Structure 1
């Protein structure tokens, strides 16, 4: 398996980083809304709309994004804004990315079992998000908590990346 690395350089696709590598709250709400609507449609007419929305999301998140130094700075500003808002509420962590378990080569098994090498299973933009945390946020003292955040029909579903700043949880 070849791993994607954050590339430094200019690219038109880099403009999308701020909006897609770390999902905004609005994008996350939209994804949840689309998924819930698709599930409801599937229950009504067995159209499989959930799979279509999920497949589209997976396809988009599989495409790595080239990152410029300017985009790195922009993403840091955006993430730190989310962190300030959460800290102002007394929170000690904030969800910065949610993605389908299909973006792990083992569907989240290693992560769910707390295996040390779980990051090696990441692909696409989730891998880039992990590398961004490792290279830019971890040195500043931020932790990353990754976990399965939903369990459809008792099986691992979406994965969430939470940035933490509580000393006890890092």
Structure 2
């Protein structure tokens, strides 16, 4: 015959289960934060790619967008804090905003100037989200119209 657990035993089981859930949630959060930090570390430094490698990637992205009838495409997204002013000059469309760029966002701008601008492409950096009304991520868009 099975015995019915006492209320105290049930409370202990529930507390143990809740503790395990909380521990798993903390581990998942820590893993997500570590992954996000690794991403930020990666994009805050030069990519190490050559112009030919970047041009090949860009040509695939542009060809796919054009085949879908688009005249522009978002090619990158990054947190505003990769700008020296947290994206303020980009948000205000102030002259010299490109000087605030760092890491891969700067590398993309420089690549555009060397390789894509002479071919008639335009580039635009724009704040694309505002969580809780605060400036958020910045998108990089290429256009050819």
> TM-score, normalized by length of structure 2?
0.74
Aligned to 1:131: 110
**Cα distance per residue 1:80-100 (max 9 Å; x no partner):** 111111111111101111111
Q: CA RMSD in A?
A: 2.1
Pair member with larger Rg: 2
**Cα distance per residue 1:114-161 (max 9 Å; x no partner):** 001100000111111110011111111000011011111111111111
Aligned to 1:62: 44
Mapped to 2, the partners of 1:110 and 1:150 lie a distance apart of 16
Q: 3-state DSSP class of the match of 1:97?
A: strand
The 1:109/1:51 distance shift into structure 2, 3 A limit, reads farther
Identify unmatched segments of 5+ residues in structure 2.
1-24
Aligned to 1:165: 144
Aligned length in residues: 120
Mapped to 1, the partners of 2:76 and 2:39 lie a distance apart of 13
Identify unmatched segments of 5+ residues in structure 1.
1-43
**Cα distance per residue 1:46-68 (max 9 Å; x no partner):** x577655443322111122334x
Mapped to 2, the partners of 1:65 and 1:81 lie a distance apart of 18
Match for 1:144 among 123, 126, 145?
123
Aligned to 2:17: none
Mapped to 2, the partners of 1:101 and 1:48 lie a distance apart of 22
